Structure 1
């Protein structure tokens, strides 16, 4: 990389650009005037999926049209085109529309190797996140930052609004429960964009060996954290609309229980049900859905429960559903938490599960994490790029 471009990168990294200078919202990928000059004549690796778009154009096509030399694409969970189900295998291969080589970073090989990065001048990250700790794109971001730090490749993040970025809530991860579905000591709903979180990972020394990644963030313009942001492209096969994205923090915890949240239906993460329930009015039968839920919980069985699309639902993280259903299935606590270890990894602690089993109220449980939330809010302040009002 030339000295001039290194200097520009450093200035962008230190100054962080005026994120709210424009009144109209423009995501980082749409601010080509800020980052295309840095990529011209450089060899670029791209971390992208179906959400990586510039207006109506995929970022891959936008970059190629602007003479950016993409050497390879790195695929995370759900694949480059977003057609791989939750937890499904993402394989190395070729991106059919472009013929570009694809390197999988999901399914055991979470970080690029030295060979994957050795001929690159930049690694470019543009993935829509949903602002929840266990949504694995931010775990992949961590591994990418580690590799970039280890092998001296600069990372550029094209930032996007967080559709759950208007608040912070939930338990803060206890390091004893660190896993790929929770790598950082942040709340379940952290209220940060990917760019802000990348800055925090760097600044707090969360990379191994206290490493630092050469990081450039291209922020969104005209964005404030309280703004409603409707995702133009579904971020993964089982989050098809805004409601599912807003309910996701509350309902994903059921993945560690015997309760279905509608995988294998047309309305995943918008319903709650169990075969033994007698209170709910909704009836649904989960089916195999290729690319989304090929083996959903209770496949082919009649499930009874609640339709969360038909009533005013909390627009923020709540324990209301979890506490309610812990008493509706007719199961004891240990039976209800059928995947207790996984539930604790999602929650980032075993205290939530134990509190529900002990019959504590939502108010009691919430009080237990308020001090940690206050500490986190203070800790994240130096890394924020967008106004909170």
Structure 2
């Protein structure tokens, strides 16, 4: 069975565990036996003196894009400093009374999932204030196969944001430890970064091979199916279609009161997806309290599933078949308060809505080119930790 970085560290019991440690984590970070990492570390004698938390808060319950306040952990009485509030990066005061920083947060493999960008700010802060950073690595639930990397790459000049700060593919097929080493080098940060690797992890592993329960990493990512669809269905945020927030099928469905041509869309995607027509009434977010027609979606073969291409094609098919109803719309978050150009920030390319005005055959050819990013596969190889 796979062992996470947290388990390797607990077994090693290094001398530095008695130093003053700041732990960046949330309740989704657990051992393979579902024990929260911060509790396991404290029980093992690690001197955790404060906690930092990313988007969704320490308890992972905060709504998407909602500003998270500072607080205290009820179980340990430790202070929690939010890194998704007015600040996204620890300051000098936050780090003045610690000797080192420990990072343990699970990721789901998509560029616009913000935990990665919290880590990049942390690397910069640790360099600025001369603190060692130790990353407890975790597997990528949607796989590490380099053949399944999908662009587009990110246009940093025009599209950089907290849902895509630096230039990597949308589906990156890396662990956060690997990306930390990559960015620390190519961005010339040169912080003291150590990654404690997972054991028994191969690049062919997906979450169903791990032999453990799926721990929701945020309110809307509550299953492996949601995670593997997210790099594609996440782009529904920029539309007047619901991605399922407010239901138990978030990022596993697409729906709207006006969605009418389900059977036509099913036929065009049936080679890669299991699709089932459903009706739903979201309890919150888009169309709260309204009856919506929708499609429940799951990949037929996750080992060969192109999440980004499939998500883009799904939006294109719905837009073309509902020209009087489909609309692009802003998506307001703490990191993007006016919500403008949300699709550009998600996809990482400027004027991205224009792609969807192309004829279908031209659209498919264009997204195939955008999603093919073989140059990145070669560029990231020196930083990879698993075979």
Normalising by structure 1, what TM-score?
Answer: 0.85
Residues in 2 aligned to 1:338 and 1:357: alpha-carbon distance in whole angstroms: 16
State the Cα deviation string for residues 304-357 of structure 1 (Å, max 9, x = none).
121215x8477331233122112233337xx62223601110000135422112
Gap regions ≥5 residues in structure 2: 263-276, 331-339
Q: Which runs of 4+ in 1 moved over 4 A?
A: none
Residues in 2 aligned to 1:359 and 1:345: alpha-carbon distance in whole angstroms: 23
Q: How does 1:93-108 map to 2 (within 5 A)?
A: 93-108=71-86
State the Cα deviation string for residues 216-249 of structure 1 (Å, max 9, x = none).
0001111112112246311111111111111111
Residues in 1 aligned to 2:350 and 2:294: alpha-carbon distance in whole angstroms: 26
| Equivalent in the alignment of 1:338 | 329
Residues in 2 aligned to 1:101 and 1:201: alpha-carbon distance in whole angstroms: 29
SS at match of 1:187: coil
Question: What's the offset of the Cα at 1:250?
Answer: 0.8
SS at match of 1:124: strand
| Equivalent in the alignment of 1:173 | 154
- Which of 268, 271, 279 is matched with 2:253 structurally? 271
Structure 2 contact 23–102 (Cα < 8 Å) conserved: yes
- Which of 277, 294, 302 is matched with 2:291 structurally? 302
Structure 2 contact 4–139 (Cα < 8 Å) conserved: yes
State the Cα deviation string for residues 78-126 of structure 1 (Å, max 9, x = none).
1112121111221111111110001010022100110100111111000
Q: Does 1:80 align with 2:58?
A: yes
| Equivalent in the alignment of 2:182 | 200
Question: What's the offset of the Cα at 1:34?
Answer: 6.5
| Equivalent in the alignment of 2:347 | 347
What value does the CA root-mean-square deviation take over the aligned residues?
Answer: 1.9
Structure 1 contact 273–304 (Cα < 8 Å) conserved: yes
Residues in 2 aligned to 1:385 and 1:110: alpha-carbon distance in whole angstroms: 27
Residues in 1 aligned to 2:374 and 2:313: alpha-carbon distance in whole angstroms: 22
Normalising by structure 2, what TM-score?
Answer: 0.86
Question: What's the offset of the Cα at 1:170?
Answer: 2.2
Structure 1 residues 32 and 46: alpha-carbon distance in aligned structure 2, compared to 1, 3 A threshold? same
| Equivalent in the alignment of 1:25 | 2
Q: How does 1:353-364 map to 2 (within 5 A)?
A: 353-361=353-361, 363-364=364-365
Q: Does 1:316 align with 2:306?
A: yes
| Equivalent in the alignment of 2:205 | 227
Structure 1 contact 95–102 (Cα < 8 Å) conserved: yes
Q: How does 1:38-49 map to 2 (within 5 A)?
A: 38-49=15-26
